[in-house]
């Protein structure tokens, strides 16, 4: 069993270095992604040219979310030719983790949250629902708050996230305000979704099944907290967009 969190992986046992990538391989990143993603979801695949004093070619940095999957990938790909004529060298990272990153838990980006959730749970394994979006328009300024809920129906688990963002601008034309409002609506929704994913734990079982649990943290938004959060967001403005407006913004 292994537990995955929706945080940026920084541990050495989740990071692989790949050497001896041939210089003629122009699609190295795509080929590496194809090979190593078969072992599990990847946070990062980065290909760089060798240093000037080394033979021509490339090396790569590959980050997994799972230490178990990274170790399996290293064991099964080291010394193999895979997509080229010469053997690849694949090693787990032995680089010392900087002190300021040790024990850190930086949340994943919105895009990475979606990738990890979809890979482990499938596109139908989770849903998100906006509970409310409230905003206050002022001259040259928009403030918007969002309260959102994540649901994992197969696991009977849910999590909530809230966010408040502000956007300022100098041009006050109606088209500019509408564009800014649509953009801010997307960004605040994404930020609330990231916060909702933060306490979620994906438990990978040995039989390939995935379970979902939600950490109980001091800043976690529980259903009983909804009224208080709504009151905070209401401080922005009592003007709540109606369903037609929200549908238009979403599109």
Summarize pLDDT for 186-238 with one digit per residue, the tens: 999 999 999 999 999 999 998 889 999 998 865 555 555 555 555 555 544 44
Q: What pLDDT score was predicted for residue 53? A: 84
Is the pLDDT at 49 greater than 50? The verdict is yes
Is the pLDDT at 176 greater than 50? The verdict is yes
Summarize pLDDT for 1-36 with one digit per residue, the tens: 899 999 999 999 999 999 999 888 778 888 888 899
Query: Measured between alpha carbons, how far is 90 from 19 in angstroms, rounded to an integer?
Result: 7
Fold topology of 9-96: Alpha-Beta Plaits (3.30.70)
Q: Give the pLDDT band of residue 243 (cuts 50, 70, 90).
A: very low
Q: What pLDDT score was predicted for residue 239? A: 44
Higher pLDDT, 77 or 23: 77
Q: What pLDDT score was predicted for residue 244? A: 42
Any idea where the domains of the chain sit in the sequence? 9-96, 110-220+229-234
Which has the closest alpha carbon to 219: 152, 166, 159, 165?
Answer: 159
Query: Measured between alpha carbons, how far is 103 from 124 in angstroms, rounded to an integer?
Result: 32
Residues 6+ apart with CB under 8 A from 72: 39
Q: What pLDDT score was predicted for residue 237? A: 46
Q: What pLDDT score was predicted for residue 28? A: 80
CATH of domain 110-220+229-234: 3.30.390
* Mean pLDDT computed over 58-66: 93
Query: Measured between alpha carbons, how far is 127 from 133 in angstroms, rounded to an integer?
Result: 17
């Amino acid at each position: 069993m292994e537990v995955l969190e929706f945080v940026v992986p920084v541990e050495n046992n989740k990071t692989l270095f790949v050497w001896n990538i041939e210089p003629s391989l122009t699609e190295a990143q795509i080929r590496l992604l194809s090979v190593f993603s078969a072992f599990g979801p990847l946070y990062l695949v980065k290909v760089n040219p060798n240093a000037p004093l080394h033979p021509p070619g490339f090396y790569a940095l590959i980050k997994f979310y799972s230490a178990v999957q990274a170790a399996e990938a290293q064991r099964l790909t080291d010394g193999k030719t895979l997509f080229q004529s010469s053997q690849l060298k694949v090693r787990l990272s032995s680089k010392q983790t900087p002190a300021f990153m040790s024990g850190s838990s930086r949340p994943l980006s919105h895009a990475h949250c979606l990738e990890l959730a979809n890979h482990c749970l499938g596109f139908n394994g989770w849903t998100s629902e906006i509970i409310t979006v409230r905003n206050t328009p002022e001259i040259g300024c928009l403030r918007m708050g969002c309260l959102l809920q994540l649901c994992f129906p197969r696991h009977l688990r849910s999590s909530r996230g809230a966010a408040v963002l502000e956007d300022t601008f100098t041009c006050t034309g109606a088209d500019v305000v509408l564009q800014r409002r649509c953009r801010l609506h997307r960004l605040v929704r994404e930020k609330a979704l990231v916060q909702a994913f933060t306490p979620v734990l994906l438990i990978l079982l040995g039989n390939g099944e995935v379970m979902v649990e939600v950490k109980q943290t001091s800043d976690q938004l529980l259903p009983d907290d909804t009224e208080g959060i709504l009151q905070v967001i209401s401080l922005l403005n009592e003007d709540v967009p109606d369903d037609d407006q929200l549908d238009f913004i979403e599109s």
